[in-house]
Amino acid sequence: MCCFTSDGCCCCAGAGCGSVRFPAHGPRQKQHGVRGCTDVEALVGLLAPGGSDAALEETVGALAELCGDNTRCQDSIRECGGVAALVGFLAPGGSAAVQKQAAAALAHLCSESVENKDSTRECGGVAALVGLLAPGGSAAVHAQAAAALANLCRNNVRNQDSVRECGGAAALVALLAPGGAEAVRDQAAGTLRQLCFENTKNKDCVRWCGGIAALLGLLAPGGSAAVHEQAAAALCILCSDNAQNRDIVRECGGLAALVGLLAPGGTDAVRERAAGALVNCALQTPGTGTACGSAGASRRWSRCWRPAAPPACKRGPRRRR
């Protein structure tokens, strides 16, 4: 699955996204001069429908690898029609391997560029990516599609709203169900965090879909630190300035679950996210502070709480936003 950096944005470069790698003499060494050159134009030209799945998978993966974090290359891909071509490979019935690579490429293209985020939405990419989250798909496709949606939602209210309107909130919540692949649950929680950042309608929608209870379920002892961190971070965002969500967390026993993550032996990142979620609950809901105290939070907070944690949580899902 994708990796995330500290500001909450998905970053799929590298072995984690399974993209095809070039040889040492390939585009990795040509990136700095690639804008408008035949490297990009030729690859986009090879995306025409009708090729074999194996050839398309290699070409789309190469395009994902080529663009990486190179903004000039990303712009060139859009200008050559690459965004529309990649969205076309997300259609139902296509090769899962090609769909995964296309979603990986879109995740790269939409990591920062406002123009690429908007272009993907206008080409129908949001709806197509949400469609890839449907039950029955492969875990690899689910994780990569969710990662692309995370980048699309980052700092883009129109895309956040579009994901909700396409049924994306419910689809992401469904991926949190017990028994699912850990990588998928981790990524889905991170994408929910991006989806709900400073978006009241999306926070309410996730609650209506049962997302808060599902995220709390990810906090159970024995789960991975990565899943705990993403779930706690998502709850931090969901509980910010939303009294109904805070009430659900309390009623579902979420305060005790979050306090449990503060115990010695956990990672600093998990404890920081859990503390941030507790602060958003305790500081904004009368009487919650007492409940946190009875759950044993006071002593644990004193060992792990850092004042900078709430702003870091409220920025939204990490890059890996």
Tens digit of each residue's pLDDT (9 = 90 or more) over 195-236? 999 999 999 999 999 999 999 999 999 889 999 999 999 999
Question: Binning pLDDT at 50, 70 and 90, where does residue 47 land?
Answer: confident
Q: Which residues contact 113 (CB under 8 A, 6 or more apart)?
A: 71, 74, 75, 78
DSSP assignment string, 194-251: HHHTT-HHHHHHHHHTTHHHHHHHTTSTTS-HHHHHHHHHHHHHHHTT-HHHHHHHHH
Is pLDDT at 140 greater than 60 in this prediction? Answer: yes
Cα separations in angstroms, 140 against 136, 152, 187, 188, 298: 12, 19, 11, 12, 40
Beta bridge partners of 3: 11
Mean pLDDT of 26-36: 36
Query: SS3 helix, strand, coil % of the chain, rounded to 5?
Result: 65, 0, 35
Q: What's the chain's average pLDDT?
A: 80
Whole-angstrom Cα distance, residue 151 to residue 137?
21
Please state which architecture CATH assigns to domain 201-315.
Alpha Horseshoe (1.25)
Distance CA 321, CA 309 (A): 15
Distance of CA 264 to the CA centre of its chain: 28
CA distances from 108 to 78, 120, 245 (A): 12, 12, 32
Q: Where do you find CATH 1.25.10.10 in the chain?
A: 1-166, 201-315
The model's confidence at residue 52, banded by pLDDT at 50, 70 and 90, is confident
CB atoms within 10 A of CB 278: 30
Alpha helices in 14-52 (DSSP H): 38-45
Task: Provide DSSP, 103-122.
Answer: HHHHHHHTSS-HHHHHHHHH
Mean pLDDT confidence for 31-58? 69
- DSSP strands (E only) in the chain: 3-4, 10-11
| Tens-digit pLDDT profile for residues 160-209 | 999 999 999 999 999 999 999 999 999 999 999 999 999 999 999 999 99
Model confidence pLDDT, tens digit, residues 64-100: 888 777 888 889 899 999 999 999 999 998 999 999 9
Class of 1-166 in CATH = mainly alpha
Q: How many residues does the chain have?
A: 321
Both structure tokens of 109:
């293209």
Q: Do 181 and 143 touch, CB atoms closer than 8 A?
A: yes
Please determine, for residue 30, whether its predicted confidence score (pLDDT) is greater than 50: no
Q: Tally Cβ neighbours within 10 Å of residue 320.
A: 26
Q: Residue type for 145, please?
A: A
pLDDT tens digits, residue range 271-314?
999 999 999 987 655 555 444 544 444 444 434 433 333 333 33
Element (H, E) at 150: helix 139-153
Angle CA(210)–CA(275)–CA(142) in degrees, nearest 5? 40
